[in-house]
Amino acid sequence: MTGNAAAAVAALQQALAAEQAAAYGYGVVGAHLMGSAAAASADADWVAHLRAGSELTTMISAWGGQPVAAAVAYELPFPVISAATAQQLAATMEDRVAQAYLVVVALPEAGLRSFGAQQVRAAALRAEAWRGTTEAFPGMRASNPRR
């Protein structure tokens, strides 16, 4: 594997891991939003993460890597006990997904950069929908003062 391929696989694996964690998290989110108007959004976002994960799996194989397997369960960043905390979890997972894809944007291959950037944007849009507020620098760590 060349240096470029190794870097691409490493970044894509991180993105895949973030997608798998998000797909798991949306299961928890959906359970707490059942019957509410937001349930359909949770479903749609869950499907988006499953699709992205499947796309990443294909890409990683194409780059000569072995896609990481999803964990059976993931530790949630905070207890989800209500519809409000469920929505907070959805937004937090989108932040993490955006962070992972921003690493893909730093790769030299134009195609991967473009893919990563589109995914950062998609995650930021989903985070905005859950949170109702925007950020100046989605996907960048420690540079976003929360408002």
Give contact residues for other proteins (rule: CB under 8 A): 98, 102, 105-108, 110, 113-114, 116-118, 120-121, 123-125, 127-129, 132-140, 147
Q: Which residue, 76 or 105, has its beta carbon nearer to other proteins? A: 105
Residue among 23, 16, 136, 3 at smallest CA distance from 74: 23
Strands (E), the chain: none
Q: Which residue, 10 or 70, has its beta carbon nearer to other proteins? A: 10
Smallest gap from Cβ 120 to other proteins, in A, equals: 5
Beta-carbon count within 10 A of 101 CB: 29
In this structure, is the dihedral angle defined by the CA atoms of residues 36, 37, 42 and 47, taken in order, positive or negative? Answer: positive
Smallest gap from Cβ 101 to other proteins, in A, equals: 8
Smallest gap from Cβ 72 to other proteins, in A, equals: 31
Q: Which residue, 22 or 80, has its beta carbon nearer to other proteins? A: 22
Residues sharing a CB contact under 8 Å with residue 49, sequence separation 6 or more, in sequence order? 19, 22, 23, 26, 97
DSSP SS3 for 65: coil
Q: Which residue, 13 or 119, has its beta carbon nearer to other proteins? A: 119
Smallest gap from Cβ 82 to other proteins, in A, equals: 22
DSSP SS3 for 78: coil
